[in-house]
């Protein structure tokens, strides 16, 4: 049973005008035991065309200028609405797309709620995947989870709009419903800039590994808890890509230099005394070179400090550079290329040098310094080109020791890994996410079958922190390199079973290349013109009516659109239970200040 509400009076391309009966303006109607929604903006009508029902969405409403006088003398006006076809029902169900258009005099009918639900709720699963209800229709719909999580996802919205709850709700429902099916086949990694997912969110504690990284030194005597540092294997640390990321190496000069450092270690890594012998040789080369370099003296002093050899430190304090003769000297003794002065003055102390007990970070700094000494002597590099890299290595080591460990231990293989960067400084927040993304991407890509039999899902909350094109705190070359690495992951990852979810309050700051590669979107309230312009020009599946709603959406409401959805829809996402919500709640000032007022003076 259906309710006739009017008829078609004009068809102009895909724009349909209907004359609506006066009594159809009620918000909700009940007929034959079924519930119907009245005719209003963003409601759905069925137009009967032969044996098919053409489904239209109402986009506008107006009154005709002509007045109509009824039999009882009451004067009324002709109500008209403009509608756009979105699909049709046939014997198999709803089909999205414009294939049939109505003709004048075709009758229009209201749709029952269950038929409206069938337009959107076509996930095809015995167990519904529901995270909320349609905002206007108040109908709970099941999302097509198979198509949704097999894609890159974007969750956008201003602060306080509910995007963190949507992100958490989406994955909480996934883990609750599909845990047994995905536990051995997929891994999920959250890059958490604000520490919002380090508690009881998403999955039980036994299936979750939390790394709470901090560049602030722990209090004296306080033992670091599990997860205070992220483990890297030695072969992964001594990798050109890894070192280039950690120390922001420029591609044309500093990356080739790092490559020589890595090759030198690889050739002699099986000999435990090779690094000590290498250091001693570079000291001899520096003092015995035919054309010594003044910068080598400071580099040798750095070597002495790295290996903590006090005797060598004191000796090098007595050595100076004689600029007129371009030679090293100790007291009144000049060092000539024949090496006799070196053997008498320096060599005995250098022989006490020992580099066998250094950790990976000090080894790296020592190898970089020694390599620069050798390259300067041989004329391979310009000191001014490589020195910034050495300084970055020196300045970064204290922070890296606090957040990374290098050894044979691998990260625990849990379903969900949360890497919290809340207590890291800005420099570390720029570098580590890229390192972790490449860590999971490369390790998965190198081992996965074709087609992929396992997946990795990388979730980046507050993604504008690392995917921004607007940052001025770093060089352009490094920013381009960082964005290129993430663009590679998001462009090529899908074929290897690597999927990315990004959440951000400023989508316009994110690289347009990255946003354009996203497939499905949950768009909360956005009011900035640049953000709205990006949405307009990037998301092809968003219709103008849904787009116009974005600046005025209430908290928790979002426009859902993308390749997994035949039609855009507006959802009110259910709020998670208190203990499962991300730690992003606003401060309750009423409670906070009332407690303060009640406290004794």
Tell me how far CA of residue 488 lies from CA of 185, 282, 492, in angstroms. Answer: 23, 40, 6
How distant is the alpha carbon of residue 377 from its chain centre?
Answer: 44
- d(CA 234, CA 398) in angstroms, rounded, equals 18
Residues 463-492 have a mean pLDDT of 74
Which among 124, 135, 10 is positioned nearest to 60, based on CA atoms? 10
pLDDT value for 383:
82
- Does 55 have pLDDT greater than 80? yes
- Does 124 have pLDDT greater than 60? no
Count the residues in the chain.
Answer: 601
Element (DSSP H or E) covering residue 436: helix 426-447
- d(CA 352, CA 345) in angstroms, rounded, equals 14
Q: What is the pTM of this model?
A: 0.81
Element (DSSP H or E) covering residue 86: strand 75-90
Sheet containing 498-504, strands listed edge to edge, beginning at the edge strand earlier in sequence:
132-134, 569-573, 557-562, 520-523, 153-156, 498-504, 455-460, 186-192, 416-423, 208-214
Q: pLDDT tens digit string along 356-375?
A: 888 888 888 999 999 888 88
Work out whether strand 44-49 and strand 107-110 pair parallel, antiparallel, or are unpaired. Answer: antiparallel
pLDDT value for 427:
80
Residues whose CB is less than 8 angstroms from the CB of residue 177 and which lie 6 or more positions away in sequence, other chains included: 127, 129
Higher pLDDT, 588 or 397: 397
Helix (H, G, I), strand (E, B) or coil at 348: helix
> Among the listed ranges 123-127, 340-344, 397-401, 481-485, which one has the minimum average pLDDT value?
123-127
**pLDDT bracket for residue 169 (50, 70, 90):** very high
Higher pLDDT, 35 or 515: 515
Residue 451: asked if its preceding bond is cis (omega within 30°), the reply is: yes
Buried-exposed string 203-240: b where 16+ CB fall within 10 A, e elsewhere: beeeebbbbbbbbeeeeeeeeeeebebbebbeebbbbe
DSSP 268-296: HTTSTTHHHHHHHHHHHHHHH-SS--THH
Q: pLDDT tens digit string along 73-101?
A: 666 678 888 888 888 887 777 888 888 88
pLDDT value for 221:
47
**Domains of the chain, start order:** 4-120 (no CATH), 145-203+415-585 (3.40.50.300), 234-405 (no CATH)
Residues 280-287 have a mean pLDDT of 85
Higher pLDDT, 552 or 337: 552
Max intra-chain CA distance, the chain:
125
Work out whether strand 75-90 and strand 15-20 pair parallel, antiparallel, or are unpaired. Answer: antiparallel
């Amino acid at each position: 049973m259906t309710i006739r509400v009017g008829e078609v009076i004009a068809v102009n391309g895909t724009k349909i005008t209907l004359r609506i009966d006066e009594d159809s303006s009620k918000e909700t109607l009940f007929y034959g035991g079924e519930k119907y929604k009245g005719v209003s903006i963003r409601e759905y009508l069925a137009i009967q065309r032969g044996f098919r029902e053409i489904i239209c969405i109402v986009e506008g409403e107006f009154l005709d200028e002509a007045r109509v006088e009824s039999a009882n003398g009451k004067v009324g006006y002709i109500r008209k609405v403009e509608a756009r076809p979105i699909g049709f029902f046939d014997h198999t169900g709803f089909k999205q797309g414009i294939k049939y258009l109505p003709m004048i005099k075709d009758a229009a009918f209201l749709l029952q709620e269950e038929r409206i639900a069938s337009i959107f709720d076509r996930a095809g699963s015995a167990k519904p995947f529901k995270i909320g209800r349609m905002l206007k229709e108040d109908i709970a719909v099941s999302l097509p989870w198979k198509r949704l999580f097999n894609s890159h996802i974007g969750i956008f919205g201003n602060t306080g709009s509910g995007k963190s709850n949507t992100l958490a709700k989406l994955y909480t429902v996934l883990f609750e419903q599909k845990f047994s099916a995905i536990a051995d086949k997929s891994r999920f990694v959250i890059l958490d800039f604000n520490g919002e997912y380090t508690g009881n969110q998403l999955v039980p504690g036994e299936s979750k590994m939390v790394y709470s990284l901090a560049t602030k030194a722990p209090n004296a005597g306080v033992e670091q808890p599990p997860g205070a540092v992220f483990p890297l294997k030695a072969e992964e640390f001594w990798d050109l890509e890894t070192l280039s990321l950690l120390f922001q190496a420029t591609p044309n000069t500093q990356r080739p230099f790092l490559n020589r450092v890595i090759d030198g270690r690889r050739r002699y890594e099986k000999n435990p005394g090779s690094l000590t012998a290498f250091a001693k040789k570079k000291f001899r080369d520096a003092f015995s070179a035919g054309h010594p370099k003044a910068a080598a003296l400071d580099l040798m002093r750095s070597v002495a400090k790295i290996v903590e050899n006090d005797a060598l430190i004191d000796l090098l304090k007595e050595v100076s550079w004689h600029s007129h003769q371009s030679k090293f000297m100790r007291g009144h003794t000049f060092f000539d290329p024949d090496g006799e002065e070196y053997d008498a003055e320096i060599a005995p102390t250098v022989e006490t040098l020992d580099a066998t007990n250094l950790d990976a970070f000090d080894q790296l700094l020592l190898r970089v310094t020694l390599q620069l000494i050798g390259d300067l002597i041989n004329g391979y590099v310009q000191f001014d080109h490589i020195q910034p890299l050495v300084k970055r290595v020196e300045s970064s080591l204290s922070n890296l020791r606090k957040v990374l460990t290098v050894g044979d231990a691998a990260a625990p293989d849990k379903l969900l890994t949360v890497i919290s960067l809340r207590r890291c400084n800005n420099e570390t927040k720029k570098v580590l996410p890229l390192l972790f993304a490449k860590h999971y991407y490369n390790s998965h890509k190198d081992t996965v079958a074709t087609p992929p039999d396992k997946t990795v899902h990388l979730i980046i909350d507050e993604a504008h922190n690392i995917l921004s094109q607007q940052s001025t705190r770093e060089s352009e070359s490094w920013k381009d390199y960082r964005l290129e690495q993430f663009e590679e992951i998001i462009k090529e990852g899908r074929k290897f079973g690597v999927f990315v979810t990004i959440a951000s309050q400023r989508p316009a700051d994110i690289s347009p290349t990255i946003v354009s590669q996203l497939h499905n979107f949950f768009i909360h309230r956005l009011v900035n013109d640049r953000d709205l312009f990006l949405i307009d020009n990037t998301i092809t599946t968003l219709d103008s009516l849904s787009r116009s709603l974005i600046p005025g959406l209430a908290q928790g409401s979002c426009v859902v659109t993308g390749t997994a959805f035949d039609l855009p829809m507006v959802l009110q996402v259910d709020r998670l239970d208190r203990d499962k919500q991300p730690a992003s709640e606003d401060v309750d000032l009423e409670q906070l200040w009332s407690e303060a007022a009640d406290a004794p003076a």
